[in-house]
Amino acid sequence: MFLPQVVIRRKREGEVLSEQEIRDFIAGVTDDSVSEGQIGAFAMAVYFQGMNIEERIALTCAMRDSGEVMDWSSDNLSGPILDKHSTGGVGDVVSLMLGPMIAACGGFVPMISGRGLGHTGGTLDKLDSIPGYTTSASEPLFRKVVKETGVAIVGQTGELAPADKRIYGVRDVTATVESIAMITASILSKKLAEGLDALVMDVKVGSGAFMPTFDQSVELAQSIVQVANGAGVKTTALLTDMNQCLASSAGNALEVREAVQFLTGEYRNERLLEITMAQSAELLVSGGLSANIEQAREKLQLVLDNGQAAEIFSRMVHGLGGPADFTERYEHYLPGASIIKPVYMEGDGFLSAMNTREVGMAVVQLGGGRKVASDTIDYGVGFTEICRLGDRIDSSQPIAMLHASSEASWNQAADMLRGALTLSEQAPQPNSMVYKKLS
């Protein structure tokens, strides 16, 4: 007979739980026979005692199986099912380009994305800035768009990994969010429920990263790779730089604009290009669509240059309810801010450091993110033309264009941005874009 308190006590004492014990506990979470207090106690026990890889695989698979696991076999798709996940950051708009690029190369990308969290922007919030685009698509519509265009980016349905939603809500209010085992299971239970053949994980490192230290980022990446591969999905992880904004912009509609400009070739930030290429190439190789990374990069560059990726993005937007001519007329459709002015630093020197988390919080302060879950988002606010590490800055050189809805919020965000930047007499050594690959 299953008793949740027995499982909690065994984990509290540092014992290794069996797969059946974990499955029974998660089944109780799903059918509400395990209380919120018991979920909190279990999460705290795991936080302090940890879980070995076998336990993490069992927890992830049990949470994955708590709801529907998508099966694409009846859709007779002509390529592998592929996806990516990022631990988030500022200006990380990679998903909007990677999905169409992978689809243009023969893959299928059923991407379940999330909303902004803390200083990190959310892919769904960005897409919500497109008029008519539905991020809460029904499963039949989701399948239809994936099958017809090769990619659909939507939010989590109630049928996918419902145990994760309940557990995360408890972890959020019991100070147990930072558990590597629980983070791994939370991320992967949703991704593996998509029915994937391969996954690439982007774990950020630096001042805008989710994990506070390099070692913890490595630990999370290793955990995700081992658990996902153990659960039967070919997975690699890249540790990538988040010591500055990834794109040249930060803010929902502003990042969508940059994504369209990237896909059409109007403008491509080289840092954003490198990270998008690195992740996309890993996926093409893992999915068997390219023999090696070099060949994958050539394919990806081709679908950017010949317009195929932009065309697929356009069809995805229209398929999910957005305007048919969005890619051609994005400036007409995307919301804007009433006040757009340059921000200047006092003093001069080389930009040697950026507190990227603080830049993200400035976007939240403007109204571009949520301080509490019920907050309404202002999609038009944020930063464009953000300066980069190593830039020579003086009082006549703007550090960014700031898009705000009022003078008061403009002034507050401008002060936050200035406070997030450090100027020095010497230019900094450039950071690697990709620090490490784990597979």
Among 219-233, 371-385, 417-431, where is mean pLDDT lowest? 371-385
155 or 7, which is more confident? 7
Domain co-membership, 323 together with 339? no
177 or 290, which is more confident? 290
The residue-averaged pLDDT of 149-158 equals 90
Active-site pick, 24, 65, 83, 202:
83
Domain co-membership, 261 together with 368? no
Domain boundary among 303, 330, 357: 330
Are 91 and 250 within 8 A, CB to CB? yes
- Annotation marks residue 85 as catalytic: yes
CATH code, domain with 46: 1.20.970.10
Q: How far apart are the first and last CA of the chain?
A: 39
Domain co-membership, 317 together with 355? no
pLDDT recorded at residue 116: 66
**Domain residues for 10?**
4-50
Domain co-membership, 326 together with 348? no
The greatest distance separating any two alpha carbons of the chain, rounded to the nearest whole angstrom, comes to 73
Domain co-membership, 41 together with 89? no
- Is 403 among the domain residues? yes
Q: Which two tokens stand for residue 97?
A: 């380009």
The mean pLDDT value of the chain amounts to 95
CATH code, domain with 249: 3.40.1030.10
Active-site pick, 85, 166, 299, 318:
85
Domain co-membership, 380 together with 271? no
Active-site pick, 191, 257, 268, 357:
191
- Is 379 among the domain residues? yes
Among 299-313, 334-348, 370-384, where is mean pLDDT lowest? 370-384
- Is 265 among the domain residues? yes
- Annotation marks residue 234 as catalytic: no
- Annotation marks residue 204 as catalytic: no
347 or 62, which is more confident? 62
Domain co-membership, 355 together with 409? yes
Domain co-membership, 214 together with 363? no
- Annotation marks residue 186 as catalytic: yes
Active-site pick, 123, 235, 240, 384:
123
Q: Which two tokens stand for residue 426?
A: 């010497």
- Is 174 among the domain residues? no
**Tokens 């689809």 found at:** 103
CB neighbour class for 52 (10 Å; exposed up to 12, middle 13-18, buried from 19): exposed
Check whether 105 has a pLDDT greater than 90.
yes
The residue-averaged pLDDT of 199-221 equals 93
Active-site pick, 126, 190, 315, 357:
190
- Is 420 among the domain residues? yes
- Annotation marks residue 191 as catalytic: yes
The residue-averaged pLDDT of 37-55 equals 97
Check whether 118 has a pLDDT greater than 70.
no
- Is 131 among the domain residues? yes
Domain co-membership, 339 together with 316? no
CATH code, domain with 392: 3.90.1170.30
Check whether 306 has a pLDDT greater than 90.
yes
Domain co-membership, 226 together with 151? yes
Task: Show the 3-state SS of the chain.
Answer: CCCHHHHHHHHHCCCCCCHHHHHHHHHHHHCCCCCHHHHHHHHHHHHHHCCCHHHHHHHHHHHHCCCCCCCCHHHCCCCCEEEEEECCCCCCCHHHHHHHHHHHCCCEEEEEECCCECCECCHHHHHCCCCCCCCCCCHHHHHHHHHHHCEEEEECCCCCCHHHHHHHHHHHHCCCCCCHHHHHHHHHHHHHCCCCCEEEEEEEECCCCCCCCHHHHHHHHHHHHHHHHHCCCEEEEEEEECCCCCCCCECHHHHHHHHHHHHHCCCCCHHHHHHHHHHHHHHHHHCCCCCCHHHHHHHHHHHHHCCHHHHHHHHHHHHCCCCCCCCCCHHHHCCCCCEEEEECCCCCEEEEEECHHHHHHHHHHHHHCCCCCCCCCCCCCEEECCCCCCCEECCCCCCEEEEECCHHHHHHHHHHHHHHEEEECCCCCCCCCEEEEEC
Nearest Cα neighbor of 352 from 388, 385, 389, 387 is: 389
Q: What is the pLDDT of residues 68-95, one digit of tens each?
A: 999 999 999 999 999 999 998 899 999 9
What gap in Å lies between CA 55 and CA 217, rounded to an integer?
20
What gap in Å lies between CA 366 and CA 77, rounded to an integer?
43
What gap in Å lies between CA 157 and CA 136, rounded to an integer?
7
Domain co-membership, 149 together with 116? yes
385 or 208, which is more confident? 385
- Annotation marks residue 135 as catalytic: no
Active-site pick, 23, 119, 171, 403:
171
Q: Between the CA of residue 233 and those of 74, 229, 356, what are the distances in Å?
A: 19, 5, 32
- Is 164 among the domain residues? no
pLDDT recorded at residue 117: 63
Domain co-membership, 384 together with 409? yes
434 or 114, which is more confident? 434
What gap in Å lies between CA 119 and CA 158, rounded to an integer?
25
pLDDT recorded at residue 157: 77
Domain boundary among 298, 330, 362: 330
The residue-averaged pLDDT of 99-112 equals 97
- Annotation marks residue 86 as catalytic: yes
**Tokens 């419902």 found at:** 162
> Hey, what's the torsion of the CAs at 257, 259, 264, 268, to 10 degrees?
110
Question: Could you tell me the pTM of the whole model?
Answer: 0.94
Nearest Cα neighbor of 256 from 333, 312, 324, 318 is: 333
Active-site pick, 86, 189, 264, 290:
86
- Is 196 among the domain residues? yes
The residue-averaged pLDDT of 122-128 equals 93
Active-site pick, 186, 207, 240, 314:
186
How many independent structural domains does the chain possess? Answer: 3
Domain boundary among 301, 330, 359: 330
